[in-house]
Structure formats: C-alpha cells, structure tokens
Amino acid sequence: MTEDEKTALLAQIHMMLDDRAEGAYGLTDITQKQHALQSAWLAERDGHPASMIAAALMHDIGHLVHDLGENPAAQGIDDEHEDVGNAWLARAFGPEVTEPVRLHVAAKRYLCATESDYFGKLSPDSVRSLALQGGPMSTEEVAAFRALPQAEAAVQLRRYDEEAKVKNLVTPPVGHFMPYVEACLA
C-alpha cells in the first residue's frame, strides 16, 4: 500500500466514523459513532495495544460499509457486519485488527454459552441479533472458538462492545484514535 493509499484510507475511515455514523445504534440511546468511540476509549483506558484500540474503534464498520439502515435485526436480517467489516479491513490491516472484528459476534455467542450471567447483560438489540446469529454456541463450537488465535482478543472486544452503550458519555473524538489506526496499517 502506497503512502497516498494509506492517507486516502485513513481519511475514508475518519469520514465514515465522523460523518456516516450519526445514526442510532440499534435501539440504544447512542449513535454508532458514540458506540465506536466508547469502545475505543475503553480499550485505551485499559492500556491495550494499538491493534485492540483500532479493532474496538472499527468493530462495527461493516454496518457503515453496506449501510442496511440503523437496525436490520429488527427486520429479521442478520447483516453479517462482522464479515463485511473484516473483508473491508483485511485489505489494509493484519489479523490482530481484523480477527477480533470478524469474531466479535462469535464471541457474544461464546460468552452466552460459557458464562451463565452474560445473556442478562445483553442489550435488547443484542438479544434480538443473537437469535439471528445462531444463538449460544454448542459445546463443539465453544471448543473450536477457544482454539482460534484471536479468540481472547475477540472476547475482550465483545465485553467492550456491550459496555460501550452509555448515553452522554464524553469520549475523545475520532481524530484522537486515528493514530492507533494508522499504526496498525499493513
């Protein structure tokens, strides 16, 4: 990837998160942008490396790439945003960023299968989408998920995903997190 391509991609990501993510984040009282910023801020607050902060910031970018509206799950649609986002990001980022993005939905299914209280922590939207995404994992799926190299990172990202739904939480702006994104470019 040339320097010009990197600059253009960073500008595109910044624009998508700053300008195209103002829609509601499902049934929550926050926007997609606020959700992304809260996720990244939580990862930064906890001292994670640039790859986790970038993954947290961009974990739902698949929603912005294909733009199926604010709440496809309400229409019975699994938008597969984790796969769309992974494919879109994979052209410029390594697996330390793309795999947690790809696996954050599987991590929800995993946590619902392995932690008795996790399902109760899900937002109404996450409960609805869980059913569309296959429900809690089976014993075999749990074992296969645990064996994945980025499973632990995906679980951490998932925890931030659920926590990052706080109305009126003040976070740094998108620009604050872009150096982490830039540091992760392949």
pLDDT of residue 75: 54
Instruction: Give a three-class secondary structure readout of the chain.
Output: CCHHHHHHHHHHHHHHHHHCCCCECCCCCCEHHHHHHHHHHHHHHCCCCHHHHHHHHHCCHHHHHHCCCCCHHHHCCCCCHHHHHHHHHCCCECHHHHHHHHHHHHHHHHHHHHCCCCHHHCCHHHHHHHHHCCCCCCHHHHHHHHCCCCHHHHHHHHHHHHHCCCCCCCCCCHHHHHHHHHHCEC
Rounded Cα distance between 79 and 93, Å, is: 22
Question: Are 145 and 106 in contact, with CB atoms under 8 Å apart?
Answer: yes
Average pLDDT over the chain, rounded to whole?
A: 90
pLDDT of residue 22: 81
Domains and CATH numbers, the chain: 3-183 (1.10.3210.10)
Q: Looking up tokens 């659920």, which residue turns up?
A: 162
pLDDT in tens, 66-93: 755 555 545 554 567 788 899 999 999 9
Residue 171's CB is within 10 A of a number of other CB atoms, namely 20
pLDDT at 105 over 80: yes
Confidence of residue 94 (pLDDT cuts 50, 70, 90): very high
pLDDT of residue 124: 81
pLDDT at 64 over 90: no
Confidence of residue 5 (pLDDT cuts 50, 70, 90): very high
Q: Identity (one letter) of the amino acid at 170?
A: V
Q: Looking up tokens 């008795």, which residue turns up?
A: 116
pLDDT in tens, 138-180: 999 999 999 999 999 999 999 999 999 899 999 999 999 999 9
Q: Going by C-beta distance under 8 Å and a sequence separation of 6 or more, which residues neighbour residue 103?
A: 82, 145, 148, 150, 151, 153, 154, 157
pLDDT in tens, 9-51: 999 999 999 987 887 766 568 899 999 999 999 999 999 999 9
Question: Are 11 and 174 in contact, with CB atoms under 8 Å apart?
Answer: no
pLDDT of residue 72: 52
